[in-house]
Structure formats: C-alpha cells, structure tokens
Structure 1
Amino acid sequence: FCFLFCAHRPMQTLYQRTFYFHFKNLRFANGRNNTFLCYEVRRMECGLPVRLYRGVFKQVTPNLHAEECFLYWFHSIVLEVLSPREEYKIIWYLSWSPCFHCADQVAKFLATHCNVSLLIFSARLYCFWDEWVQENLRRLSQEGAQMAAMSFQEFRECLEKFVDNDGQPFRPWKKLYRNYRFQNAMLQKILRSTSLSENIFRFQFNNQQRIKKPHRSRRTYLCYQLQWFDGREPLRGYLQNKRAKHAEILLIDMMRSMELGQVQITCYITWSPCPTCAQELAAFKQDHPDLVLRIYASRLYFHWKRKFQKGLYNLWRAGVHVDVMGLSEFTDCWTNFVNQQKPFKAWDRLEGNSRSIGRRLSRIRESWGLQDVINSFGNLQLTPPLP
C-alpha cells in the first residue's frame, strides 16, 4: 500500500538538469529511458478555465508508466473528491509520447469520461515507426485528445511552470526548431493517415474464431466507400468507435451532413452491427429510399443472442444488403483501404471461415423470416369480426 501511495504522488517541480536532459527533442535520444509527465488540471467555471492542480509524474517501474500514475491520481484525487459532473481540461507536457499500452489506457479513459478534454504536447515521439503505436495514437485522437509536438513556446511554458529554475529564462538548444518540425510533421502524418497498415488489417479483419498470441482486442473497424452515380470520384475512409458512438453511428452522422441523392455505400466491417446500430442504419435507409447500402462483415457480433439476430433481420427488411466478407470482399477492402503495392494474400482457412460464418448468417435470416410468417398467421382473423 505504501509503495502504491508513493508511486502515485506527484512531484511539484523538476530540476533544471532533469528538464534539459529528458525534454530535449532529439531525433535519437539515447539514454533517455524514463518518461516525465508535467500536468495542469483546470475546471471550467462559467465558461472559463480555472487551475486546480499542477505537478509532475514520472515512470516508476517498466510496468508502471507516468500516464498510468496520472490516471490513478486523477481518479482518486479529482473524480472521487470533486464533482464527477464538472468539466475538466487537462494539459500534458510529455518527454515521450504515449506508448502503445498507455495510449490504449488513456483512450479508454476518455471514452468513458466525456466531461474531460485532454491536450498533449510531446517533446519526442515514442517508437513512431511501429504500426500498433501509430494506430493507438490515432485512436487517442479519435477519442478527443488533441496532440502536437512541443515547440519553443511549449518548452518555455513547461520550464516556467514545472522547473525549479530560479527565475532564469528558457535556453533553447541547438536544432530545437528543426527537430520540432520533424516531430510535428511525423505526428500529423500519423494522425492524418486514411489507410490501414497491413498488420492492422490482417489482425482486425481476420475471420478466424480464435486469435494467436499476442492477444490484442479485436475492435470495430468500418471501411466505407461512397460511389455517386454522376461520375464523381468515390469517397473512401475508415472509422472506429469514438467515445459513446459506434463507428456505424459516426457513418450515419457523416452521411447526414452530406447531400447524398442517389449513391451506393459499401461498408466492410470487422464486427456485424449491434442492435442499436442496426436500428439506426435501418431507419436511415428507410429515410433515404434511393440509397443503396451494402454491409459486409468479417465476423458476427454476439450472433447467438436473439436481439442481435433481430437487429440483422431488421436491416434486411429495411432493404440493407448484409452479408459476410468472402475472398473477393477481403481483396477489394485490401486494394482500396490498405494501399499496399502488392496483391492480397489470403490467410489460412479464410474461405472456409467465410462459408461457415455465411451459413450461420443464413440460418439467422431464415429463422427470423419463418418467425415473421408464424406471426402473420397468428394475426389472421379466421372468423368475421363481431358487429
């Protein structure tokens, strides 16, 4: 208990030597194996931010990072003491951008705390070449976090707020501006990417029932393509769940903001829609009778539960084409959304898994179609109504 309590207690300031060594925005930062997180927590009062807390966390052990220490502290000191319904604005100055695990944890935190906004400034990018790190940084952005590299202004602010500097001004080091431009350009390139990496695609869209190690969560990815009938260029992109909204709802919101007219939308999705998303998609299709909507799912989501089955059947009844991804759909998804200069190579048992999932989907459709017939017979009046 004592270790956990001390581990999650923030420091008040940094030594100058620590700041200038660990926050130096070098491209190759040898020997800088620790992460320092300088934070400022503000509460919104009458539309204006009022500072509540300020401090510094650092990595305690290889398995206890600075970001996790902050989240533990924020829960125990802020959310459990102050009103959880207040709006909070958090600013981080990080020596390293979040790793794969921390980005995932912070994204989950933001997804469940819609009253918290987070602004992250990073001196350096951690393993920015790693596809999984890139993907979780994008997920962090999708959950509402704003991210940027630390510029001269942020380094100066960080020193003035968090460093015991005896009133001395910030002393910029050599190549600070050049390294900032490199770090920020790389970060923005990662966040703007509209293509899936090969590893992400092969893991998230894989239609095998069991996944191999390392065990990572298989999330919802929705790749969409809008094709107009007037010859315009197709619109392509992909969506993930964002805070309280599923990817399907985000797609509906995007389509509502456009003048669709006659358009065909093809969706490749890792998990079939949940009942709520199915209901919203069916209603949207009924409101737009000229819309052609095709949904191909890699896997079926809770297919044994009746309310999930009913959601799929309601999509069919509304005129939405729902089917399982086969080899041709995986190939098309690869060509349009992975953007690799090589042909798609199927994984083991891809087609066998597709046929098995397809039979399961057909049984759902047939059973609910039969239920409709039974209900129709039950509603028939076999005798004349009473006067």
Structure 2
Amino acid sequence: MAQVNKAKPNKNNEVPKDSENSEAPAEEDAEKKQLEELPPFEVVEGSRIPASSFMFQFKNVEYSSGRNKTLLCYTIERGEGQVFHGYLEDEHVSAHAEEAFFSNVLPQFLTSGPVGVTCYVSSSPCVNCAASIARCLRKNKTVKLRLVVARLFQWEESEIRGALRGISTAGCQLRMMTSADYLYVWQNFVEPDIVLNEEGESEQKSEQGAFIPWEDLEENSRYYEEKLAEILR
C-alpha cells in the first residue's frame, strides 16, 4: 500500500482538504525524508505507536506522499472480559499489516468461543488484504469484525471497490475514523516521542500530551464516509 490515490472532486468539487498545503512545509519534508530513509523491514508488532508516526500516517488528508506504510491497531475481546491490544506496521516492500494480522495474529485467539475484533487502520485494505479478511470471516463465523479506517486506498479502482464490498458482504462492519476514534487510538495505542537531550539522556517531548485534531479532520472524514457509502451501496 505504497500510496493513497488523490481523490477526484465530487459533485460539489470538494476533496479531502490538506491543511498542510499541497506544497509540504519544510518540517514535513524533513519528516517524510526521515521516513523514506528507513530501511525495509518485516511486519513489526508492538503495543504503542510513536506519536509523530501516528499523526503522520493516520492523517486523513488528500496529500499522501511519504505515507508508504500501513499501521493497524487492534483490540481483541474474548469471553470473560479478556481484552488484548496491539499494533502492527508494514513497509512497502514487505507483507501488509492487514494480511499479517488476519493470517498470523488473529488465529491465535480463535481457539474457542466468539471473538470481537476492532481494527483501526491508517488506510483501507488493498485487494489481496481484503481477500485475506474475507477468507478469515468466512472460515471463522464466531468473529465479529469492525474495520475503522482513516483514508480510502485507491477507492476509484473497480477492483478495490469490489474488494471493499466483498469484506462487507463477508460480515465486516466497515467505516471511516472520526475524531472520537482518533482520540481513542491516541489514548490506547500511542506513546510520546522520546528524544535525547544534550547529555544523551532520553526525555519526552513536552508538547505531546492531549490529542489535538487537525483543522479538517471531521470534514475529510465526512467526505470519505460519503465515498464509502457509495461503494457499499
């Protein structure tokens, strides 16, 4: 999932707005350059996402250059109040996070009884990942899945639209992230960035406390909700 498509205008000539401007400021250029220079790696699994990575990868803007990985945060609920949290991320040359989760992680929790799964994903699944999700749901009827995504990946492509309808038909509740979802993920899956001071000691960035929504978060979310509704209609 290397890139998210640039959305075409709707009937009102509206597209998801990018408060960062089409010409990315110097600070974001540096951030993207740092991300692009990261070496390839296999799917990484953990419990907390660095705050800067979350804010960059989950941003529901049209401008998506540099957002070349998928982050997936999951909550798995089993009987007797058992709740498990975690996240996965991928790199564009490796396996996708969704396929890794539904093929390798989730099966570990399907030994007995019903399972409720909620996945918060930075971008909607590609065709292959959607196929893995649909197979998992068809095979495991006791799984109740909610897939909550920040952006729609190449939503104008007929294969992608069909793949999204396929996972919906298989039983997945698919919707876009709202500000309430962003706040939930921030509180449960994000950790402050740690930097080194002049003495080489680690310290937390003081400005990273509460989640601060970007200007067009809700407007962009509504735009994508309309597009998703059209696809699933």
**TM-score, with structure 1 as normaliser:** 0.44
In structure 1, the partner of 2:215 is: 174
AA aligned to 2:215 is K
Say whether 1:126 aligns with 2:153. yes
AA aligned opposite 1:120: L
Q: Is the 8 A contact 2:42 2:94 kept in 1?
A: no
In the alignment, the residues of structure 1 paired with residue 129 and residue 96 of structure 2 have an alpha-carbon distance, to the nearest angstrom, of: 8
2:65 to 30, 38, 41: 30
Q: 1:8 to 1:19 in 2, by over 3 A?
A: closer
What is the CA–CA distance in structure 2 between the aligned matches of 1:36 and 1:52, rounded to whole Å? 20
Name the SS of the counterpart of 2:67 in structure 1: coil
Quote the offset at 1:73 in angstroms. 1.7
1:70 counterpart residue number: 101
Q: Once the two structures are superposed, what CA deviation does each residue of 1:170-217 show, in whole Å capped at 9, x if it has no partner?
A: 10002111101111111111011xxxxxxxxxxxxxxxxxxxxxxxxx
Q: SS where residue 230 of structure 2 aligns? A: helix
Counterparts of 1:70-109 in structure 2, within 5 Å, are 70-71=101-102, 72-75=104-107, 77-79=108-110, 84-109=111-136
1:224-235 counterparts in 2 under 5 A? none
1:197 corresponds in structure 2 to: none
Please state how far the C-alpha of 1:52 moved relative to its aligned partner.
Answer: 2.7
How far residue 62 of structure 1 moved from its aligned partner, in angstroms, is: 2.8
Corresponding residue of 1:144: 171
SS in structure 2 of the partner of residue 124 of structure 1: coil
**Cα 1:131–1:162 shift into 2, 3 Å:** same
Residue aligned with 1:104, SS:
helix
Matched-pair contact (CA < 8 Å) for 1:7–1:69: no
Deviations 1:286-313 (A, max 9, x none): xxxxxxxxxxxxxxxxxxxxxxxxxxxx
The structure having more radius of gyration, on CA atoms, is 1
What count of residue pairs does the alignment treat as equivalent? 178
Evaluate the alpha carbon distance shift between residue 28 and residue 9 of structure 1 in structure 2; reply closer, same or farther with a 3 A threshold: closer
Provide structure 2 residue ranges, at least 5 long, that are not aligned to the other structure: 1-40, 193-203
8 Å contact kept, 1:88–1:117: yes
Aligned to 1:20: 55
Q: 1:13 and 1:139 mapped to 2: Cα distance?
A: 31
**Unaligned residue ranges in structure 1 (runs of 5+):** 1-5, 193-387
Q: Which structure is higher in helix share?
A: 1
Could you tell me the percent identity over the aligned residues? 30
Structure 1 runs, 4 residues or longer, greater than 6 Å off: none
Distance in 1 (alpha carbons) for counterparts of 2:162 and 2:94: 21
Please give the residue correspondences for 1:322-341 in structure 2 after superposition, counting only pairs within 5 Å.
none
Task: Tell me the TM-score normalised to structure 2 length.
Answer: 0.72
Larger relative contact order (CA 8 Å, sep ≥ 6)? 2
The partner residue of 1:59 within 90, 97, 122 is 90
